[in-house]
Amino acid sequence: MQCIARLLFVFQWYAIMLDYVGEYEGTKERISKAFKIKEHFVVRKTLLMLFGCALHATSNKAHFNCML
């Protein structure tokens, strides 16, 4: 279950980092990366729905409860 939670964070943060790199490289590159960013968020959402995970945020930590 911890692997699934880590995988979800990987997809999320990779998409965020792609956006930051695109912002640095310019508008044209940012737009060209938009489809790849969307793919990563779609995969993350699909995994969330597939494994029935719920994100719980507490003070400075976040963790997932997954029902497998």
Residue that the structure tokens 């990779």 belong to: 14
How far apart are the C-alpha atoms of 18 and 36, rounded to whole Å? 8
How far apart are the C-alpha atoms of 65 and 68, rounded to whole Å? 10
Q: What is the pLDDT of residues 2-53, one digit of tens each?
A: 676 777 788 888 988 999 998 999 999 889 989 999 998 888 888 877 776 6
> Which residues are registered as beta bridge partners of 58?
61
Residue that the structure tokens 């029902």 belong to: 67
Note whether 32 and 26 are within 8 A (CB).
Answer: no
Residue 35 has a pLDDT of: 92
pTM: 0.64
Residue that the structure tokens 């969330």 belong to: 48
Domain boundaries, the chain: 2-65
Residue 55 has a pLDDT of: 55
Q: With pLDDT > 90 as the criterion, what percentage of the chain qualifies?
A: 13
